[in-house]
Structure 1
Amino acid sequence: MTRADSQSSQQPQDPPREQFEGRTRSDILVALLHHGPSSASFLGEHLGLAAAGVRRHLDILQAEGLIEVTGPRNGSQRGRGRPAKAFALTDAGRSQFGHDYDTLAALALTALRETGGDAAVREFARKRIESIVADIQPAGATEESIKKTANDLVAAFSRSGYAASASEAGTGVQICQHHCPISHVASEFPELCEAEHRAISELIGQHVQPLATIVDGHGICTTNIPLTPIKRQHPQDPGQGRSGS
Structure 2
Amino acid sequence: MTKGIGTRREQILKLLLESRLGLGIDEIAEQLDISRNAVQQHLSSLEQEQLVKKDIFKSTGGRPSRNYVLTEHGINYFPKQYSWFGNLVLSELKSEMSEDAFRQFMWRLGVKLAKTLLTQFDGKQPDEKVAALVDTMQSLGYEASLDINTGQPIIKASNCVYHDLAQQFSELCDFDHALISTLLDRPIEQTACMARGDCSCAFLIKSEVSG
User: Is residue 220 of structure 1 aligned with residue 179 of structure 2?
Assistant: no
Give the distance between the partners of 1:149 and 1:167, measured in 2 at CA.
15
Q: CA deviation at 1:185?
A: 1.1
CA deviation map 1:127-155 (0-9, x unaligned): 43235432135688xxx822221222222
Cα pair distance change 1:197/1:139, threshold 3 Å = farther
Query: How many residues matched?
Result: 142
Structure 1: stretches of 5+ with no match in the other structure: 1-9, 16-97, 235-245
SS of 2:203's partner is strand
Alignment map for 1:182-221 (pairs within 5 Å): 182-221=162-201
CA deviation map 1:37-90 (0-9, x unaligned): xxxxxxxxxxxxxxxxxxxxxxxxxxxxxxxxxxxxxxxxxxxxxxxxxxxxxx
Structure 2: stretches of 5+ with no match in the other structure: 1-36, 43-78
**Map of 2:208 onto structure 1:** 230
Give the distance between the partners of 2:192 and 2:122, measured in 1 at CA.
23
Tell me how large the CA RMSD over aligned residues is. 3.7
Paired AA for residue 135 in structure 1: L
Q: CA deviation at 1:199?
A: 3.4
User: Is residue 135 of structure 1 aligned with residue 117 of structure 2?
Assistant: yes
Q: CA deviation at 1:211?
A: 2.1
- Report percent identity of matched pairs: 21
Paired AA for residue 147 in structure 2: S
Give the distance between the partners of 1:132 and 1:176, measured in 2 at CA.
19
CA deviation map 1:91-146 (0-9, x unaligned): xxxxxxx8832222122111112223335533442343235432135688xxx822
Cα pair distance change 1:132/1:159, threshold 3 Å = farther
Cα pair distance change 1:154/1:132, threshold 3 Å = farther
Q: TM-score normalized by structure 2?
A: 0.52
**Map of 2:23 onto structure 1:** none
**Map of 1:103 onto structure 2:** 84
Cα pair distance change 1:139/1:214, threshold 3 Å = farther
Q: Which segments of structure 1 move beyond 4 Å, counting only runs of 4 or more?
A: 137-140
Do the aligned partners of 1:106 and 1:185 also contact (CA within 8 Å) in 2? yes
Q: CA deviation at 1:162?
A: 1.1
Q: CA deviation at 1:176?
A: 1.1
Give the distance between the partners of 1:200 and 1:193, measured in 2 at CA.
11
